[in-house]
Structure 1
Amino acid sequence: MLRKIFMTAIAVSLLIGALVYAKLGQFSAMGRAAEAMAVPPETVTAVTVDEALWERSIAAVGTLEPVQGVMVSAEVGGRVTRIDFASGAAVKAGDVLLRLDTSSEEAQLASAEAAATLAKADLTRVRAMDARKLSSQDALDAAEAKAKETQAQVVNMRALIAKKTVRAPFGGRLGLRLVNLGQVLQEGDRIVSLQTLDPIYVDFSIPQQRLGDLRHDMTVRVRADAAPDETFSGAIIAVSPEVDAVTRSVRVRAQIANPGERLRAGMFARVEVVLQDRQPVLPVPATAVLYAPYGDSVFVIEERKNDTTGATEPVLRQQFVRLGRARGDFVDVTDGLKAGETVVTSGVFKLRTGMTVVIDNRLAPAAGLEPNPSDS
Structure 2
Amino acid sequence: MRNYQLGKILFPFLIILLVVTCIYLYLPKHSDANQTFANKPVIVSAVNVTMQTQSIDLESLGTSRANEAIFIKSAQNDYVTEVFFNDGDIVKKGQVLVQLNSEQEKSAVAELQINLKEEQRQLNRLTELAKSQATAKSLLEEQRSKFEATQVQLASATIKLAEMTITAPFSGRLGQRLISPGAFITSANEITTLDDISTIKVDFNVPEKYLAALKPNMVVTAKSPAYPDITFSGVLSNISSRINPATRSVPVTASFDNKNQQLRSGMLLHTFVKLSEFNAILVPEKAIIPIENQHFVYVVENGLANRKEVTILQRLHGQVAIAQGLSEGQQVVTEGIIKIRPGSSVEVKGDAQ
TM range (shorter): 0.7 to 0.9
Partner of 1:6: none
Partner of 1:284: 283
CA distance in 1, matches of 2:271, 2:61: 5
Alignment of 1:350-365 (within 5 A): 352-353=339-340, 356-361=346-351
* Alpha carbons 1:300, 1:341 under 8 Å: kept: no
Instruction: Write the letter of the residue equivalent to 1:180.
Output: S
CA distance in 2, matches of 1:106, 1:156: 12
Partner of 2:195: 195
Aligned with 1:194: secondary structure?
Answer: strand
Instruction: Write the letter of the residue equivalent to 2:62.
Output: G
CA distance in 2, matches of 1:358, 1:58: 37
41 and 166 in structure 1: CA distance in 2 versus 1, 3 angstrom threshold? farther
CA distance in 1, matches of 2:136, 2:202: 69
2:127 equivalent to 1:127: yes
Cα offset for 1:349? 7.8
C-alpha offsets along residues 348-373 of structure 1, whole Å, 9 cap, x if unaligned? 489833685453239x6xxxxxxxxx
2:163 equivalent to 1:160: no
Cα offset for 1:247? 0.6
Partner of 2:76: 76
Q: Which residue of the other structure, out of 277, 284, 302, is the alignment partner of 2:300?
A: 302
* Alpha carbons 1:242, 1:250 under 8 Å: kept: yes
326 and 290 in structure 1: CA distance in 2 versus 1, 3 angstrom threshold? closer
Unaligned runs of 5+ in 2: 1-25
Once the two structures are aligned, what percentage of the paired residues are identical? 25
361 and 113 in structure 1: CA distance in 2 versus 1, 3 angstrom threshold? same
Cα offset for 1:238? 2.1
CA distance in 1, matches of 2:61, 2:309: 34
Higher relative contact order (CA 8 A, sep 6+): 2
* Alpha carbons 1:116, 1:150 under 8 Å: kept: yes
Aligned with 1:242: secondary structure?
Answer: coil
C-alpha offsets along residues 91-150 of structure 1, whole Å, 9 cap, x if unaligned? 222111111110111122222222222222222332333333332222222222222222
Q: CA RMSD in A?
A: 3.7
356 and 291 in structure 1: CA distance in 2 versus 1, 3 angstrom threshold? closer
CA distance in 1, matches of 2:108, 2:183: 23
CA distance in 1, matches of 2:66, 2:120: 50
Unaligned runs of 5+ in 1: 1-27, 305-313, 365-376
Instruction: Write the letter of the residue equivalent to 1:220.
Output: V
* Alpha carbons 1:199, 1:257 under 8 Å: kept: yes
Partner of 2:260: 260
Partner of 2:22: none
CA distance in 2, matches of 1:51, 1:61: 31
Partner of 2:232: 232
Cα offset for 1:246? 0.5
Partner of 1:19: none
Aligned with 1:209: secondary structure?
Answer: helix
Alignment of 1:1-376 (within 5 A): 46-276=46-276, 278-285=277-284, 300=298, 302=300, 314=303, 327=316, 330-332=319-321, 338-339=326-327, 341-344=330-333, 348=335, 352-353=339-340, 356-361=346-351
Aligned with 2:108: secondary structure?
Answer: helix
* Alpha carbons 2:46, 2:348 under 8 Å: kept: no
* Alpha carbons 1:72, 1:190 under 8 Å: kept: yes
Cα offset for 1:242? 0.9
TM-score by length of 1: 0.71
Cα offset for 1:273? 1.7
CA distance in 1, matches of 2:234, 2:245: 28
